[in-house]
Chain A
Amino acid sequence: MNRQRVKAIAKKEITHVLRDPRSLGMGLAIPVLLLVLFGYGLSLNVDNVPLAVWDQDNTTTSRNLIRDFTNSEAFQPAGVCHSQRDTEEIIQSGQATAVLVIPPDFEEKIARREPATVQLLVDGSDSNTARLSIMYADGITKNAVQTAAMSIITAYNPAMDTTWSIIPGLIAIILNVIAAMLTSLCVAREWENGTMEQLISTPMRKGEFLAGKLVPYYIIGVIDLIIAVLMALFLFGVPLNGSLLALAGVSGMFIFTTLSVGILISTAAKSQLLASQLALVITFLPGFILSGFVYDIKAMPAIVQAITKLIPATYFVSLLRTIFLKGTWGMAPVKELLFLTLFAAVVLAMTMKKLKLNLDGR
Chain B
Amino acid sequence: MSEKSVTVRNLTMSFKEVQAVKGISFEVARGEVFGLVGPDGAGKTTTMRILAAILTPDSGEAQILGLSSATEREKIHDRIAYMSQRFGLYQDLTVEENMEFYADMYGVKRSELKASMDKLLDWSGLTQFRSRPAGKLSGGMKQKLGLACALIHTPELLLLDEPTNGVDPVSRKEFWNLLYKLVDEGLTIIMTTAYLDEAERCHSLAFMDRGKITARGTPEEIVDLIPGGVLKFNSDNPFEESNRITESTEAVSTVFGSQVHVMGNIKEEEIERSIDRKPDIIRSRGSVEDAFVYLSEIETDHG
Contact = CB atoms under 8 A, between A and B. Distances in A.
Contacts of A204: 77, 105
Contacts of A15: 92-93, 97
Contacts of A8: 100-101, 104-105
A220 B13 CA distance: 43
Interface of A is mostly: helix
A7 interface: yes
A278 to B, nearest CB: 24
Contacts of A200: 54
A202 B76 CA distance: 9
B215 to A, nearest CB: 28
Interface in B76-129: 77-78, 80-93, 97, 100-102, 104-107
A257 B300 CA distance: 58
Contacts of B250: none
B172 interface: no
A193 B88 contact: yes
B56 interface: yes
Contacts of A11: 101
A358 B55 contact: yes
Contacts of A126: none
B90 A195 contact: yes
Nearest to A18: B92
Interface string A1-19: 0101101100110011001
A41 interface: no
Contact of A201 (B52, B90, B91, B92): B52
A16 B78 CA distance: 26
B74 interface: yes
Interface residues of A, number: 29
Interface in B128-164: none
B22 interface: no
A198 interface: yes
Nearest to B83: A198
B54 to A, nearest CB: 5
Interface in A167-197: 190, 193-197
Contacts of A19: 92
B56 A360 contact: yes
A196 B92 contact: no
B19 to A, nearest CB: 16
Contacts of A20: 92
B283 interface: no
A75 B114 CA distance: 74
B51 to A, nearest CB: 10
Contacts of B90: 12, 16, 193, 195
B82 A201 contact: yes
A357 B55 CA distance: 9
B26 to A, nearest CB: 21
Contacts of A197: 49, 54, 84, 86, 88
Given A16-B92, A20-B92, A360-B56, A202 B105 contact: yes
A249 interface: no
Nearest to B100: A8
Nearest to B52: A201
B11 to A, nearest CB: 15
B107 A4 contact: yes
Given A4-B104, A7-B104, A16-B90, A360 B82 contact: no
A115 interface: no
A233 B281 CA distance: 93
A34 B102 CA distance: 38
Interface in A43-61: none
A33 interface: no
B101 A12 contact: yes
A198 B55 contact: no
Contacts of B52: 201
28 contacts: A4-B104, A5-B107, A8-B101, A8-B104, A11-B101, A12-B101, A15-B97, A16-B90, A16-B92, A20-B92, A190-B88, A193-B91, A194-B85, A194-B87, A195-B89, A195-B90, A196-B88, A197-B84, A197-B86, A198-B83, A201-B54, A201-B84, A202-B77, A202-B105, A203-B105, A357-B54, A359-B55, A360-B56
Given A15-B92, A198-B83, A199-B105, 15 more contacts: A11-B101, A12-B101, A19-B92, A193-B91, A194-B87, A194-B88, A196-B88, A197-B54, A197-B84, A197-B88, A198-B82, A200-B54, A202-B77, A203-B74, A357-B54
Interface of B: 49, 52-56, 73-74, 77-78, 80-93, 97, 100-102, 104-107
Please name the 5 residue pairs, one residue from A and one from B, whose CB atoms are nearest each other, closest first. A198-B88, A8-B104, A195-B88, A194-B86, A201-B82
Interface of A: 2, 4-5, 7-8, 11-12, 15-16, 19-20, 190, 193-205, 357-360
